[in-house]
Structure formats: C-alpha cells, structure tokens
C-alpha cells in the first residue's frame, strides 16, 4: 500500500506516467487501487517461478475480487454500482489465466517493478533539481529569455492589430469622401486637395504598416530560429540521453507552450496580410505599396510558419516493449508502444489530423539489411483527450513488427556484415495539416531502434542503443555501426554512470570509474585522453576474462537493480575497487572493518566483502575475502542478512562474525540495521528454511587448506543434526580467500558439524548423508567429536 500511496502523491508529470502504465488490460487500475495492500504484500516474483504458489495467489485474487464486489453491492450508490459491474468484468478477464497463473504473477510483478521505476525517476528528478543548481539556473535563464521574446512578440502583434484597424478606418473615411465627391457634378480644387492629402496619408500609413510587418516577420523569424535550431535540438539531445539513463528533463510542456504561442502569432500575421489584400482590393492607386510588397511578405510568412509547423511534429515517447530491457529495443511479434505529439495546440483540428506509421522509408541498399512490416492499428488521429495537458497526441499502443521475406538474405548494392543487434531501423510518422488555406505534409521519425527476435539478444541490443545515443545525434544514421569511431573515455564513463544512476539512484564516482578504466587501459595518471572502441566495449573480452566489458557491467547492473538497490543508493557498496587499493584502505583501519565490492570474474554479476584482521600467529594484518555471492544466493537470502549472520570457524575457535565496521568506521548494525528482517541468530527466518552444504575443516587447520563442499542437506536434515557449535548463516558455503585473493580460508556451513581430529573417507560420509536420522537418540555433548558421531553404531 505504501508504494501505491507514494505514486498518488507524485507530481502531475509522473502521475501521468502511472496513468499511461495502467492504460492496459492486463491489470486494471481499479483492481490495483482497491487491492493495493494485498497486492504489495505478495511474492509475485517467486510465484512467477513457482506454479504451486501461483495457483494459490490466483485463487486468493479471485476471492478478493468477489469480496470487493460484495462491498460495492452493500454500499448501493451510483458509483459503487459502476465499480460493481467493472469488478465482475475484471474477474471474468482474469479467468483467462486459469491454466497459466504464473503468467499473471509475472505480469503483476512487472507492473510493480514499473511503479518502482516511476518512483525512482521522480526521486531522481528531485535529487537532480537539488544538486544541479547551476544547470537549473542556466535553464531558467533560457526560459526567461524565451518568455521575454514571446511577450515582446505578443505586444508587437497587438500593436499591429491596432494599426490594421486604424488603417481600415482611415481608408473607409477616404473611400467615403471619394465616393461622395465622385457622385457630385463638379468638384472644387479645394476638395481635390483634401482628397489628395487623405490619399497621401493613406499611402504613408500603408507603407508604415508594411514596414512594421517586415520588422515583425524578422523578429518572429529570429525567435523561430532559436526555438527550432536551438531549443528543439537541445530537447532532442536531452531526450536521447534520458533514454539511456541521464538525469535529463525531456518533458515537452514548455516547448508546446512556445510553439503554440508562435503559431498563434503567425496565423494572426497571415490574417493581417489577408486584410491588407482586401483593403487594397477596395482602394488602390498608382504605385500602391500593398500590390508590390504583399506577395513577398506572404511568401516569407508562409515559409516561417511552415518551418515552425513541420518542426512541431515530434515523437514524445520512443518505441518500447512492455517487458524489454530498455526502450528502443523491439522484438518481432511482441507489441510495442510509441507516442507522437504535435506541439501546436489547434482545437479546430482535434481528431482530424490522421497520423500514419511506416518503417524504414529511406532504408539503405545494403545486402542482408532486414525489412519489416508494421502491423496493428497503424493510423490514429491526433487528439487532445489522451494527454493531461490537452496536447495534440497520437498514442500507438499495440503495434507489432513482422519481418518481410525477401529471400537470399535481402537485396542490396553492398554488404557491410552488420550483426542483427548492430542493424538500426527508423519508425516513420506522417500526417497532413490543413487550416486557413495552408496545407502541409508533416513528417517525423523515432530514434533508431534495434529489432531482435529472441530475448537472448537483449543484452547486445541495449549495448547498441547505449553506444548510438551516446555518440550520434543524426536520427537517420542507420548505418552508424558500419563505421563507428572510438569514444572518449570520459564520455563512456559518464554513460556508464548514468546506468547505475537510473538503475539504483546513484552514479559512479571518480574512483570507481578509474578502477574500470584501469581494467581496460592499465594504470595511468589520467584517463581523459583514452578512447574506447565499439568492439572493445561490447565484443572483445576484457583482460583475464572470457566476456566483454559490457557483459560484465550489465551483469552487475542487473544484480544491483534486483537485489542491492538500497545498499547501492545509500553508498554502502564501494563496488569497483582494485585489490591493491582495497588492501591499502583496509589495512589502515581497525580489525573487523570491511567493504563491499563487485566480482571481476563472474559474468552475471557477483558481490563479495573483504575485511581486515590481525593474525597473531605471524604478527601481521591480513585482508580476507569470501567467494562472491550471486543472484542465486540473494534470491534465497537478502544480502544484508548474509552480512548480518556471516560467521567463520577456524580450527579450535568459537564461530564469530568478523564483519564489525563498514568502511571507513560505521558500525555494521548502524549501516545495515534499517534493512534487517525481524529476528536474528537462530530466530532469523533465513536460517531455518534454506539449503546448506556440509563442509569440514582439515586436521592441520593451516591457512590455505581447502574446505571441500559436500552434498547439500535440506532444511529438515539440518534441523535433525545436533552440531557441536552454534548454528551459522545459511550462506556459509562460500570459500574464503586470503590476502592474495587465491587461497581459501577455513569456513563452516550452517548446521554442519566439524572436527579438527578426523578427515572422513567417502564411505563414512555417505553413511552420514544417506541417513541423517542416525544421530537421533545419541547422547551428544560439546566434547563429542565428528569422528565419534560417524563411527557410532
């Protein structure tokens, strides 16, 4: 319920995103609202993988819908009657998941995840507003300058309107006197002089008006140029960066206000020109300035207005599929959505401008380049009802792509050997503008998209989206990957920082980026002049590993987003740090100081902790590490609970948790206490119901002896074993590493008995594993050795 309440308290811009999210049939907003508490308290992620739990949640959902239906029936008012009917329909729609309830669980989990992303976006926006004061001031100055120019234009147009009316009155007065004298038999010289004087004044007024009109068009042209060539271009660049995680404002409200204001002013100017033509048609004379200048002014006005209107047609929301890794990656036969917007509000054209969707109108003639057909409702009217601000939008929500079968891999004049995920495509939109005698064809296009056919291509496709939108501003450059240039490392580092910022609310600092750079370029004084190629970013393996830089970072990003978001956001995870710097930092701290860092050798993402302790045997201080934890571990136990319950057992010692202070000197419980689950030690919910591995300590107990992990024991087996030590954490089947990072240190698993007196042979071990109940009835004491237990008859 807390999450749903948080969404309702967001600013209108983000509430609009919530409305757009729930403008679907899969999960109605009414169901989400009235069942919010129950929905947020269920384990939908686990139900998506566990069919039995999915069945239970599906049945409970139907019961909750029935209960809510009954409540509406008892209330008996008009609104309740409508909701009552809706909930009956909702239940009928949910029945389609009867055979596959896990699909419903996955769908609800997806909605909850998207909600959290909206909340994170809103919070991130607040942070950006508070942290980037200088940038905000600059944007405010730009807005003030534009508003000042628009206000100046508005006043000029008002003055022009008044001037035209005065000219009309002046001409009517002249025309009346002229017609009056014309009907008279004779006209005196005095009357002719008066008429000549009036005509001279009229001619002067027309020339002055035309001169003012020229000046007005010049001013408008300058403002339109700034709006189209600067403000709109900057918005497009901000939108590109925002789609790859940058904290940029890509909203269109200000631009829409400015475009509409300018368009209204230009249509008034066209009315003034039309009025001048009418006046000249009624009264004209030799060397009439209207006849000689009006046509040129009309052409200039129409040209300015055409530029403005054609630039006003944009793609507000770029193409994306509901459950994709990121926007701009589309999958064949999977529905995607995209929204266009006409930035000039024209109520007269509401629902009359039809937008048509096509694809690759200017496809390159390259052998093997795929072509696609756009299926679904590919034509939709711009309307003012699908936007909270009343903008002219066409929201396409159910489009799909189907590849054309052209045979022999396609036709073309050249073959650039682009991979599927390097092949870029553009979705095109066109519509017709017809108003007040002006007819225009408007066109726009999306950012380049990558089209895949299998979810296994998502990772590589998103890498292409990142690389293109980091470097290229030409939206139609679909052959960008045919000849990519290396990217400056500072620019790559900024893009990588955005990924963590958008995933979990905190970007990468200088030390973290330098650690990544050192992995790529070796140790250097500065990495500002280093460059990274596309191949080295996404294709070539990083040193000492069998995967690329992006594959490694993406695995960490997924791990952070799914399991470590809070810890990453509050700065508890140092993340990227070299082993040398790790030792330097920790050895200066008190015993038990630890830090959290990412694994450099696990493809799908891993995290470990290292701590410092004094070794009294050799009189030195060591830094120890544990084998990295992966998503498999954290799916079972939250990482904070692993830290909380972590214990080690060295030969002859009582098990204890060596983690006491989060670097630099924060007590562990102070750093992580707010994330702890209720219960601790044996009462922890993560100790009793987990799978553990049986491990033993070798007789010598010397540092570096390998602890052999044996077969897994299920929870009930562990409960039946009375171990000679306190129960330990469930994730203690990890091997500890010494200061050099390669030799394991002794470690005991949860519920696993250990003895320094014996190394079991395979037969004895199998007896114990095959019948753990063999220990029942034995009189066990603290002095009972593992050998005595195994050898007992």
| Contact status, residue 115 vs residue 7, Cβ threshold 8 Å | yes
Q: Residue 16: how many CB atoms within 10 A of its CB?
A: 16
Most confident of 51-60, 94-103, 372-381, 504-513: 372-381
**pLDDT for residue 761:** 44
Mean pLDDT for the chain? 80
Confidence of residue 274 (pLDDT cuts 50, 70, 90): very high
Rounded Cα distance between 356 and 432, Å, is: 10
Exposed/middle/buried for residue 340 (C-beta within 10 Å: 0-12, 13-18, 19+) = buried
Helix H or strand E segment including 614: strand 607-615
Q: Does 275 score more than 90 pLDDT?
A: yes
Rounded Cα distance between 588 and 326, Å, is: 42
Residue 762, by phi and psi: left (phi above 0), alpha (psi -120 to 50) or beta? alpha
Confidence of residue 341 (pLDDT cuts 50, 70, 90): very high
Which H, E and C letters describe 252-292, residue by residue?
A: CHHHHHHHHHHHHHHHHHHHHHHHHHHHHHHCCCCCCHHHH
pLDDT mean over 406-423: 68
Q: 396, 410, 326: which is closest to 363 by C-alpha?
A: 410
Domain membership flag for residue 545: yes
Last residue in a domain, options 311, 330, 363? 311
Domain membership flag for residue 540: yes
What percent of the chain has a predicted confidence (pLDDT) above 70?
Answer: 79
525 and 584 inside one domain: no
Torsions phi, psi for 314 (to 5 deg): -135, 165
Determine which of 119-133, 200-214, 342-356, 393-407 has the lowest per-residue pLDDT on average. Answer: 119-133
Rounded Cα distance between 693 and 83, Å, is: 53
Domain membership flag for residue 142: no
**pLDDT for residue 424:** 95
- Tokens 């729930």 correspond to 22
409 and 466 inside one domain: yes
| Contact status, residue 574 vs residue 663, Cβ threshold 8 Å | yes
Number of domains in the chain: 5
pLDDT mean over 562-582: 89
- Our CA dihedral for 257, 391, 130, 125, rounded to 10 degrees, sits at -150
Domain membership flag for residue 146: no
Domain membership flag for residue 353: yes
What does each C-alpha distance from 667 to 268, 431, 573, 624 come to in angstroms? 70, 63, 15, 19
386 and 257 inside one domain: no
Structure tokens at 608: 């470990």
40 or 316, greater pLDDT: 316
518 and 641 inside one domain: no
290 and 163 inside one domain: yes
**pLDDT for residue 246:** 92
- In the three-class reduction of DSSP (H, G, I as helix; E, B as strand; rest coil), residue 222 is classed as helix
Confidence of residue 563 (pLDDT cuts 50, 70, 90): very high
Structure tokens at 386: 């699908």
CATH code where residue 417 lies? 2.60.40.630
Determine which of 95-104, 214-223, 368-377, 588-597 has the lowest per-residue pLDDT on average. Answer: 95-104
| Contact status, residue 288 vs residue 280, Cβ threshold 8 Å | yes
Which H, E and C letters describe 472-534, residue by residue?
A: CCCCCCCCHHHCCCCEEHHHHHHHHHHHHHHHHCCCCCHHHHHHHHHHHHCCCCCCCCCEECH
333 and 233 inside one domain: no
**pLDDT for residue 226:** 93
pLDDT mean over 675-695: 54
Q: Does 789 score more than 70 pLDDT?
A: no
Q: Does 517 score more than 80 pLDDT?
A: yes
Q: What is the pTM of this model?
A: 0.71
**pLDDT for residue 760:** 41
Q: 456, 623, 631: which is closest to 556 by C-alpha?
A: 631
Which residues contact residue 401 at a Cβ distance below 8 angstroms, ignoring those fewer than 6 apart? 330, 332, 333, 336, 359, 372, 373, 374, 375, 451
CATH code where residue 22 lies? 1.10.532.10
Question: For the stretch 154-193, what's the b/e string if a residue is b when 16 or more beta carbons lie within 10 angstroms of its beta carbon?
Answer: eebbeebeebbeebeebbeebeeeeeeeeeeeeeeeeeee
What percent of the chain has a predicted confidence (pLDDT) above 90?
Answer: 39
pLDDT in tens, 72-88: 777 766 667 777 788 88
Q: 531, 524, 538, 535: which is closest to 488 by C-alpha?
A: 531
CATH code where residue 540 lies? 1.10.238.10
53 and 186 inside one domain: no
- Tokens 């000689």 correspond to 292
Largest CA distance in the chain: 147
**pLDDT for residue 365:** 83
CATH code where residue 250 lies? 1.20.1050.20
Which H, E and C letters describe 129-175, residue by residue?
A: HHHCHHHHHHHHHHHHHHHHHHHHHHHHHHHHHHHHHHHHHHHHHHH
Q: 18, 48, 23, 42: which is closest to 115 by C-alpha?
A: 18
Question: For the stretch 750-773, what's the b/e string if a residue is b when 16 or more beta carbons lie within 10 angstroms of its beta carbon?
Answer: bbbbbbbebebeeebbeebeeebe
Last residue in a domain, options 502, 526, 553? 553
What is the per-residue DSSP string for 621-632? EEEEEEPPB-HH
> Hey, which residues does 332 pair with through a beta bridge?
none
Confidence of residue 30 (pLDDT cuts 50, 70, 90): confident
- Tokens 């017809």 correspond to 434
Q: Which DSSP state fits 532?
A: E
| CA dihedral (328, 332, 336, 342) positive or negative | positive
Determine which of 226-230, 428-432, 471-475, 717-721 has the lowest per-residue pLDDT on average. Answer: 717-721
**pLDDT for residue 407:** 55
Containing structural domain, residue 690: 572-791
Q: Does 734 score more than 80 pLDDT?
A: no
**pLDDT for residue 81:** 77
451 and 588 inside one domain: no
Q: Does 522 score more than 50 pLDDT?
A: yes
Which residues contact residue 251 at a Cβ distance below 8 angstroms, ignoring those fewer than 6 apart? 13
Helix H or strand E segment including 106: helix 101-131
Most confident of 39-48, 456-465, 689-698, 737-746: 456-465
What does each C-alpha distance from 75 to 33, 68, 90, 446 come to in angstroms? 18, 11, 19, 49
606 or 187, greater pLDDT: 606
683 and 780 inside one domain: yes
pLDDT mean over 702-723: 29
656 and 767 inside one domain: yes
407 or 117, greater pLDDT: 117
82 and 112 inside one domain: yes
Strand spans (E) along 372-499: 372-375, 379-381, 392-403, 424-425, 427-435, 438-445, 449-452, 487-488
- Tokens 């925002």 correspond to 242
**pLDDT for residue 130:** 56
Domain membership flag for residue 765: yes
CATH code where residue 595 lies? 3.30.505.10
Strand spans (E) along 405-486: 424-425, 427-435, 438-445, 449-452
562 or 1, greater pLDDT: 562
Rounded Cα distance between 471 and 114, Å, is: 28
Domain membership flag for residue 138: no
Confidence of residue 772 (pLDDT cuts 50, 70, 90): very low
Q: Does 790 score more than 60 pLDDT?
A: no
Q: Does 172 score more than 80 pLDDT?
A: yes
| Contact status, residue 587 vs residue 623, Cβ threshold 8 Å | yes
Rounded Cα distance between 308 and 382, Å, is: 18
Determine which of 233-242, 457-466, 539-548, 708-717 has the lowest per-residue pLDDT on average. Answer: 708-717
Q: 433, 442, 432, 424: which is closest to 315 by C-alpha?
A: 442
pLDDT mean over 331-348: 93
174 and 92 inside one domain: no
Q: Does 776 score more than 50 pLDDT?
A: no
Last residue in a domain, options 292, 311, 330? 311
Domain membership flag for residue 558: no
**pLDDT for residue 66:** 84
**pLDDT for residue 138:** 52
Tell me how long the chain is.
793
């Amino acid at each position: 319920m807390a999450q749903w309440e948080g969404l309702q308290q967001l600013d209108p811009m983000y509430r609009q995103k919530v409305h757009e999210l729930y403008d679907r049939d899969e999960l109605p907003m009414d169901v989400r609202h009235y069942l919010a508490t129950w929905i947020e308290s269920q384990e939908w992620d686990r139900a998506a993988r566990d069919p039995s739990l999915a069945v239970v949640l599906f049945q409970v959902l139907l019961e909750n819908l029935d209960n809510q239906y009954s409540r509406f029936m008892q209330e008996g008012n008009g609104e309740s009657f409508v909701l009552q009917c809706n909930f009956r329909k909702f239940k009928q729609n949910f029945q389609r998941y009867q055979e596959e309830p896990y699909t419903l669980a996955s769908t609800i989990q997806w909605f909850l995840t998207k909600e959290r992303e909206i909340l994170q976006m809103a919070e991130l926006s607040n942070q950006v507003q508070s942290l980037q004061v200088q940038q905000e001031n600059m944007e405010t100055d730009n807005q003030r300058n534009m508003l000042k120019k628009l206000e100046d234009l508005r006043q000029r147009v008002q003055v022009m309107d008044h001037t035209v009316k005065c000219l009309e009155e002046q001409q009517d007065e002249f025309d009346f006197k002229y017609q009056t004298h014309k009907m008279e038999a004779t006209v005196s010289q005095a009357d002719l002089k008066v008429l000549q004087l009036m005509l001279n004044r009229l001619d002067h007024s027309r020339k002055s008006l035309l001169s003012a009109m020229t000046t007005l068009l010049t001013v408008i042209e300058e403002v339109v140029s700034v709006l189209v060539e600067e403000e709109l271009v900057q918005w497009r660049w901000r939108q590109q960066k925002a789609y790859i995680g940058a904290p940029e404002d890509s909203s269109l409200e200000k631009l829409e206000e400015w475009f509409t204001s300018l368009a209204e002013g230009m249509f008034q100017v066209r009315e003034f020109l039309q009025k001048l033509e009418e006046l000249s048609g009624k009264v004209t004379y030799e060397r009439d300035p209207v006849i000689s200048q009006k046509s040129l002014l009309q052409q200039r006005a129409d040209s300015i207005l055409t530029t403005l209107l054609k630039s006003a047609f944009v793609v507000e929301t770029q193409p994306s599929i509901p459950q994709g890794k990121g926007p701009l990656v589309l999958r064949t036969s999977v529905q995607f959505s995209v929204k266009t917007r006409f930035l000039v509000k024209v109520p007269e054209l509401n629902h009359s401008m039809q937008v048509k969707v096509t694809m690759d109108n200017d496809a390159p003639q390259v052998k093997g380049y795929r072509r696609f057909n756009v299926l679904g409702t590919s034509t939709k009217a711009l309307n003012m009802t699908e936007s909270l601000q009343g903008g002219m939008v066409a929201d396409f929500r159910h489009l799909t792509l189907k590849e054309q079968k052209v045979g022999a891999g396609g036709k073309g004049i050249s073959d650039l050997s682009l991979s599927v995920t390097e092949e870029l495509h553009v979705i095109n939109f066109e519509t017709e503008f017809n108003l007040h005698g002006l007819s225009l064809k408007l066109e726009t296009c999306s950012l380049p998209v990558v089209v895949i056919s299998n979810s296994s291509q998502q990772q590589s496709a998103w890498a292409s989206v990142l690389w293109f939108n980091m470097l290229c501003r030409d939206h139609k450059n679909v052959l960008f990957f045919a000849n990519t240039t290396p990217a400056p490392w500072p620019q790559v580092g900024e893009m990588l920082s955005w990924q963590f910022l958008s995933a979990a609310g905190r970007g990468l600092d200088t030390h973290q980026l330098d650690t990544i750079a050192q992995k790529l370029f070796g140790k250097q004084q500065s990495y500002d002049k280093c460059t990274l190629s596309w191949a080295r970013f996404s294709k070539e393996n990083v040193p000492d590993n069998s995967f690329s830089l992006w594959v490694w970072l993406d695995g960490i990003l997924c791990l952070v987003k799914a399991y470590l978001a809070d810890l990453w956001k509050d700065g508890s995870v140092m993340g990227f740090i070299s082993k040398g710097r790790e030792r330097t930092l920790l050895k200066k701290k008190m015993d038990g100081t630890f830090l959290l860092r990412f694994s450099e050798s696990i493809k799908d993402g891993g995290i470990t902790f290292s701590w410092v302790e004094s070794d009294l045997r050799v009189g030195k201080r060591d830094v120890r590490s544990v084998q990295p934890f992966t998503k498999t571990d954290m799916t079972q136990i939250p990482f904070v609970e692993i830290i909380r319950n972590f214990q080690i057992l060295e030969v002859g010692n009582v098990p204890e948790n060596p983690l006491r202070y989060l670097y630099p000197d924060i007590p562990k419980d102070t750093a992580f206490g707010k994330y702890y689950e209720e219960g601790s030690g044996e009462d922890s919910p993560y100790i009793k119901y987990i799978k553990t591995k049986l491990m033993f300590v070798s007789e010598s107990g010397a540092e570096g002896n390998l602890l052999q992990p044996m077969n897994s024991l299920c929870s009930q087996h562990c409960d039946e074993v009375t171990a000679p030590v306190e129960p330990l954490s469930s994730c203690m089947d990890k091997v500890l590493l010494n200061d050099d990072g390669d030799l394991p240190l002794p470690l005991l698993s949860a519920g696993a008995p250990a003895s320094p007196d014996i190394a079991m042979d395979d037969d004895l071990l199998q007896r114990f594993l095959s019948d753990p109940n063999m220990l029942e009835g034995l009189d066990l004491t603290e002095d009972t050795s593992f050998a005595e237990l195994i050898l007992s008859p």
